[in-house]
Structures are given as C-alpha cells and as structure tokens.
A and B are shown apart, each in its own frame.
Chain A
Amino acid sequence: MKRTPPTRRSFLSLAGSAAVAGAVPVVTLRPLEATPAMLTSAIRNVVGEAPVRTGKVKLDIPPLVENGNTVPMTVRVESPMTSTEYVKSIHVFNEKNPQPNIGNFYIGPSAGRAQISTRIRLADTQKVVAIARLSDDSFWSTSVDIVVTLAACTEEVN
C-alpha cells in the first residue's frame, strides 16, 4: 500500500479535530471519576494520620485487562500470623472508578494466612492500591498500574 507522508496542513487539521473529539469525553466523564484527591482522602479515612509505608503487601492483578467488568485480584500480606503479630485488615482502593473504594477485608490471627481473593470492576486504565493494617497498627501498601481495554460501570443498560 502506498502512503503519502502527511503534509503540515493535513497534520495540523488532524491534530485539531483530535483535540476537539478528545475534549468532549473528558468533560462528560470527569464527574464519574474518582480523582487522585478522592483516592487520597479515601485512604486517609482508613489510615487516619498514620504513615503508610511501601512493602509487605503483594497485589496480584493482571497488568493488562480486556474486560474491566470482572478482574481477578489477590492481595497477600507478609506476616507470621501469630496471636501477637498478624494482619488486622486489608483495604483496596482505585484511582478512576466513580468511587475510590473497592473493598475492606477484615481478617485476624485465626486466618493463618493473610491472603484474600475477589473479582473487581475497573472503569479505566488506572492504579489500584492495597493497604494492610498490621496488629501493631502500622500500615503497609503497594500499588499496581493496570491497563483496561473495555471499561466497566458506566456503560448503558440494555
């Protein structure tokens, strides 16, 4: 196939129409997204003023998701899970769904293993954050960036 290189004029008009087309969804979708500020405040609601350190938590989600309506997720926390040293709870958040919370999971020393799995919805390509609260009330976190090709939540109902 023969392709002609774009001229300066055609390139500019293409860029202009792309900008116009891009502006519309940004305006209409904005109120439906949890902003990074909402993510931060949702995390603050759980951890309060305590510092959140990185580590100990492992978040297992496929990095490339075809269908955001059901995304398998496993969170595992490194902990001996004894009666004195254990994981109290695991909290999962997202950046760009309409709401920043995904789920709170309360376990305890009787769990034996600090690991939970569920299936979640992701409305957009975004970051997912998992935070664990340990028995000494310290908080540990990890985050994963996920590319979503088919978004969940906001489609029309047939």
Chain B
Amino acid sequence: MASALINVPRKAKRGDIIEIKTLMSHIMETGYRHTAAGDLVPRDIITSFICRYNGSEIFRADFFPAIAANPFMSFFTVAKESGKLEFEWIGDNGFSSTASASITVE
C-alpha cells in the first residue's frame, strides 16, 4: 500500500501564500539498472502528480526517472477559501494513489 505524507497549514489568512509539501513512498525504479545477473530491471516510476484546490488544478508535475525515490514535492499556492486540497499520483504498472488535506481560510 502506497503511503503519502502531506504537509499543508491547517489555517491560513485569506491571501496568504502557503507552502504545500508532499512525500510519496515509491521505489522510482529508473529502468537503467541491472541485476548482478545482468538483467535489466524494468522501469517503475510515478509519471505525474496533480494537486487540486476545491476541484481546480493548481499544480501539476511530470516526473522522469531522474526524480529520486519517494518523490518529494514542494510548491506554493494562495489561500483563497476554505476547503480541500486533493493530491493524485499516477505511475507505471497502473500505479495510482490519492490523498487529501483540508484547510481553513479566515
């Protein structure tokens, strides 16, 4: 089971710029490594990450094998209204995981 760590301020003032940090557990196998027997280890990475704030997309990233294992991502947004931040990771071999956090904007 994939697990995610999300760091979003629980409260913010309207108009504040807030930082959102996410960490997703994933091997991010590059597809360029070999076993000791010489077999290529197939690629298994997260290819995209999306963040939505009350349904509208505020951040999206395309990942390549050069993103380290357990991808960490930090970005910013303006606290506009109370509600929900939803996170989605999509990857190879049908990988898909979601997480969410709520924020109160005063």
* Pairs across A and B, CB under 8 Å, 23 listed: A70-B68, A98-B30, A98-B32, A99-B64, A99-B66, A102-B66, A103-B61, A103-B66, A108-B58, A112-B78, A113-B76, A114-B76, A115-B75, A116-B75, A117-B72, A117-B74, A119-B67, A119-B72, A121-B65, A121-B66, A153-B33, A156-B33, A157-B35
* Interface residue B14 (Cβ < 8 Å from any Cβ of A): no
**A97: min CB distance to chain B, Å:** 5
Residue B36 CB within 8 A of the other chain: yes
Instruction: Indicate if the CB atoms of A110 and B58 lie closer than 8 Å.
Output: yes
Report B-chain residues with C-beta under 8 Å of the C-beta of A71. Answer: 68
Residues A68-105 near B (CB distance < 8 A): 69-71, 94, 97-99, 101-105
Report which B residues bind A (CB closer than 8 A): 17-18, 30, 32-36, 41, 53, 58-69, 71-78, 80
CA distance A102 to B64 in the complex (A): 5
Tell whether A150 is near chain B: CB-to-CB under 8 Å: no
A110 to B55, CA, bound (A): 14
Residues of A within 8 A of B77 (CB): 110-112
Over the window 132-158 of chain A, the binary record of Cβ atoms lying under 8 Å from chain B Cβ atoms (1 yes, 0 no) is 000000000000000000001111111
Find out whether the CB atom of B32 lies under 8 angstroms from the CB atom of A120.
Answer: no
- Tell me if A104 and B75 are in contact (CB < 8 A): no
List chain A residues, Cβ under 8 A from B75. 105, 107, 111, 115-117
CB neighbours of A32 from chain B (8 A): 32
